[in-house]
Copies of this chain bind each other. A is one copy, B any other.
């Protein structure tokens, strides 16, 4: 049995009349090599049927140039927007973006284990997932650089916002605009992922309202599943009921948008009869003119990615806990 030795990068280099370095570059960083050279290298590759050996490649590369993002099954626009931020940073950094979606903690657990062990990511970004200590230990032990978004942790870098402050800002804003009958609309807690910023937003709102002498009664706090239809149904109920609030702070833009629509359907003038305020500043907020508390989602993704890259480039950089500022974006709804 005569084994034909596989073609290597050397064969390609010889055939194309260049050095192996150039061949390697053509494959990994093509913009660094001249158009013509590139063409002729490709031709050689093509003619010899060259396929790089994964094992040798992995060996030579200290890095993989891959960043993973773990996110809850990404159906919520807020995840998408953060992801977009991550992608925009990674795009011009020559890192690949690998996405892992998890539906439950179990799967999350599995990802953490296998990813940390087989060292084939250079860094990890975890979006909006509860993160317990055992995960952190594992990651540290295996040296997988990680940045958490929306869930702080002692020993890992994180990017967060102050949800409570956001609630307070909304309270201040609405009261200052002269509204008297304030309410809150949020979604119900999903226990699965154990993270629930909504609770904090409500707490801040409520607390501040109390300070301003307009305590928020429990009958003014509505909760509903994170679902358009359900939210609209509830909205209709609230808005056509006897004691209609004149301003509602919604825990997320999605709910605010649903409410806005109901209000319009009912012929209410916004913000005259009803002020609606959201939280997040999703793209859609701009489309419909929703006044909202902006948490700059794109930016949070961007910053998380930048943080990660800087730590990867230099392991000595300290762990950081970045608190992103919130601001009120005034549009037409409140």
Contact = CB atoms under 8 A, between A and B. Distances in A.
B59 A119 contact: no
A75 interface: yes
B3 A143 contact: yes
A228 B288 CA distance: 11
Contacts of A55: 54-55, 57-58
Interface string A159-199: 00000000000000000000000000000000000000000
Nearest to A256: B287
Contact of A99 (B45, B60, B87, B261): B87
A257 B261 CA distance: 13
A281 to B, nearest CB: 14
Contact of A4 (B54, B62, B143): B143
B96 A97 contact: no
Contacts of A101: 87-88, 91, 97
Number of copies: 2
A228 B332 CA distance: 16
A100 interface: yes
A57 B119 contact: yes
Contacts of A31: 110
Nearest to A62: B54
B143 A5 contact: yes
Contact of A287 (B6, B52, B261, B332): B261
Contacts of A28: 114
Given A143-B6, A287-B261, A288-B287, A119 B332 contact: no
A87 B140 CA distance: 28
27 contacts: A2-B141, A4-B141, A4-B142, A4-B143, A30-B110, A30-B114, A45-B117, A51-B119, A52-B117, A53-B59, A55-B57, A56-B120, A57-B120, A58-B58, A73-B87, A73-B88, A74-B84, A75-B84, A87-B101, A96-B100, A99-B99, A254-B287, A258-B287, A261-B288, A283-B284, A287-B288, A288-B288
Given A5-B143, A91-B101, A228-B286, 17 more contacts: A3-B143, A6-B119, A6-B142, A27-B114, A27-B118, A28-B114, A31-B110, A45-B117, A52-B117, A52-B119, A54-B62, A57-B120, A59-B118, A66-B98, A96-B99, A97-B100, A97-B101
